[in-house]
Structure 1
């Protein structure tokens, strides 16, 4: 393995990135929408093994105090090898001491706790598909 990170959008095969989401498994993404979301993000991070994209993450930010990390994903065969931590640390370094929030996939909270994240007591959300978010256990079912 020759793992390295890139923080630019040059020559990205967005279909390959979407395949990472499916294999992770984190659902499906539309390549064009993911590209636009990434172009509008403050930080994008791609993990590569030689010439293959194996992981991805991005963050939104006001550039001063607040940021949110989205879409951290990694191919299954690369999980549990420290690469997710490498991506997260790369993103956090670029955010330069801002307050950071994120969605944790249900069951994966421990990964983020090891990086210093804590469960929020007052977070709330309004979602386009509230039922889907309930089914995926991102929000309470009451």
Structure 2
């Protein structure tokens, strides 16, 4: 594996990123929406293997108080190789200095994030665009 790391969105292929999220599988994301989301993120991480995008992650942050690590995804061919750990470690390191670093994990992936020092929050709440689907997927409880 000959990996190239980047944080640049100059001349970026947003369709390739949408395809990565679909393959990961983390759902169908609109390329234009991804461009907005990554463009508004303080930190981002893109990993290429042989010129192809294989891994990604980003952090929304205010520079002082709160950083939110989100949208970490890998092509299935690169899952289980340690690359996801490297992406998360890089994003956590970039976020150091914030008073808190927050994320929400796909249900069942919490042990992966515990290795980086993340603890379960007791007070986190969310409003999703599709609340019933979020509940069905295990992200929120109705009560």
Same fold (TM over 0.5): yes
Q: Which digits, 9 at most, give the CA deviation of each residue in 1:42-101, with x for residues without a partner?
A: 111101113111011111111012110111000011011110111111112222232110
Partner of 1:60, secondary structure, is strand
Alignment correspondent of 1:95: 95
Mean Cα deviation higher: 8-17 or 25-34: 8-17
How far did 1:104 drift?
A: 0.2
Contact persistence 1:5–1:87 (CA under 8 A): no
Greater CA drift, 2-11 or 57-66: 2-11
Partner residue, 1:106: 107
Matched, 1:12 2:12: yes
Aligned to 2:29: 29
Structure 1 residue ranges without an equivalent (≥5): none
Which residue number in structure 1 is paired with residue 123 of structure 2? 122
- Please identify, of 77-86 and 2-11, the stretch whose mean Cα deviation from structure 2 is larger: 2-11
**Count of residue pairs the alignment pairs up:** 142
- Tell me, which stretches of 5 or more residues in structure 2 are unaligned? none
- 1:133, distance to aligned residue in structure 2 (A): 0.7
Q: Give yes or no for contact 1:56–1:71 (8 Å, CA) kept in 2.
A: yes
**Structure 1: 4+ residue segments shifted above 4 A:** none
Aligned-pair distance for 1:128? 2.0
Give the drift of 1:4.
2.7
Query: Does structure 2 retain, via aligned residues, the 8 Å contact 1:47–1:55?
Result: yes
Secondary structure of 2:48's match? strand
CA positional deviation for 1:136: 1.2
C-alpha separation in 2, matches of 1:96 and 1:122 = 22
